Amino acid sequence: MGISSYNLPEASAFLYTDDLKSCRITTEAYHHLFNVLRIKTGEKIILSDGDGNWRLCSIANPTATKGLNLVALNTEVKVPQPENKVAVGFAITKPANSDTTVQKLTELRIGNIYPFISERTPIKVDPNTKEKLFDRFSKISLSAGEQSRNPYLSKIHPIVHFAELTARFKDSAAILQPGYAKIDKLSLEGINILLIGPEGGFSQKELETVQCKFSLGGTILRSETAAITVGAILTYLTG
């Protein structure tokens, strides 16, 4: 079990739900509780809506096949919004590496994650692939959010091309590229998104598109390593 700085009570599991008021969970979540985690009657579960609200619940009847409702033990509690407002965009790479990027950025509480297609993205991403990857990333983020017990679920944005993403953020975007000044809290002022390139790096055209650039140090990092580093730095610098 990971460490959470939120003042959450002790519980056997943490789940997201679309119906926090009635503490209703899905059949899939119900299966996960009893057949995977082996939760028993009376054990406590934290339910969250993914928007900072949570309730402590208990298992009343693990043999129930209808309703799939838990018993609420308190009223809804709202935790403070995280201070980190900087999003992270990453160029899609090999599927396993992209999966790791989404998982770790979620665990590190990056609120908005933007997968994008760069000129050097090593795989072909057609509309069908975009949809499948978006669904995959969303499920990975959901699982990582529950594992890390974060009441604020990261938002995975639809996959777009680099040019579209940078046009959306304009002067508030920054590229991570070796050879530039290291990130610090002061330099992040006015920056809304940090962009991580693919394994082959950004193209010259892409580098010229974004004026603001930062470095993560003197070594060349793999894309997923850079994402973990960026997430950790943002979490540390912004509390």
Domain boundary among 78, 104, 133: 78
Would you give the DSSP letter of residue 106?
H
Confidence check: pLDDT of 85 > 50: yes
CATH number at residue 98: 3.40.1280.10
The two three-digit tokens of residue 21, written as one number: 């008021």
pLDDT above 90 coverage of the chain, percent: 55
The rounded distance, in Å, linking the Cα atoms of 73 and 44 is 9
Question: Based on the domain organization, do 70 and 100 belong to the same domain?
Answer: no
Average pLDDT estimate for 72-93: 90
Please report the pLDDT score of residue 3 as a whole number. 46
Work out how many domains the chain is built from and give that number. 2
Residue 7 lies in a domain: no
The two three-digit tokens of residue 108, written as one number: 């590190």
The rounded distance, in Å, linking the Cα atoms of 233 and 4 is 17
Domain that holds residue 200: 87-237
Question: Based on the domain organization, do 96 and 36 belong to the same domain?
Answer: no
Residues 29-47: pLDDT tens digits? 888 888 888 888 888 999 9
Please report the pLDDT score of residue 63 as a whole number. 54
Question: Based on the domain organization, do 99 and 125 belong to the same domain?
Answer: yes
Domain boundary among 36, 56, 78: 78
Question: Based on the domain organization, do 113 and 147 belong to the same domain?
Answer: yes
Cβ(39)–Cβ(29) below 8 Å: no
Question: Based on the domain organization, do 72 and 91 belong to the same domain?
Answer: no
Please report the pLDDT score of residue 5 as a whole number. 56
Question: Based on the domain organization, do 119 and 169 belong to the same domain?
Answer: yes
Question: Based on the domain organization, do 118 and 206 belong to the same domain?
Answer: yes
Residue 46 lies in a domain: yes
Strand duo 53-58 + 71-72: pairing = antiparallel
Residues 149-160: pLDDT tens digits? 999 999 999 999
Cβ(44)–Cβ(56) below 8 Å: yes
The amino acid sitting at 106 is: T
Residue 143 lies in a domain: yes
Question: Based on the domain organization, do 69 and 91 belong to the same domain?
Answer: no
Domain boundary among 60, 78, 96: 78
CA–chain centroid gap for 112, Å, is 7
Would you give the DSSP letter of residue 154?
P
The two three-digit tokens of residue 212, written as one number: 């603001």
Question: Based on the domain organization, do 108 and 152 belong to the same domain?
Answer: yes
Residue 221 lies in a domain: yes
Residues 210-230: pLDDT tens digits? 999 988 877 788 889 999 999
Question: Based on the domain organization, do 36 and 69 belong to the same domain?
Answer: yes
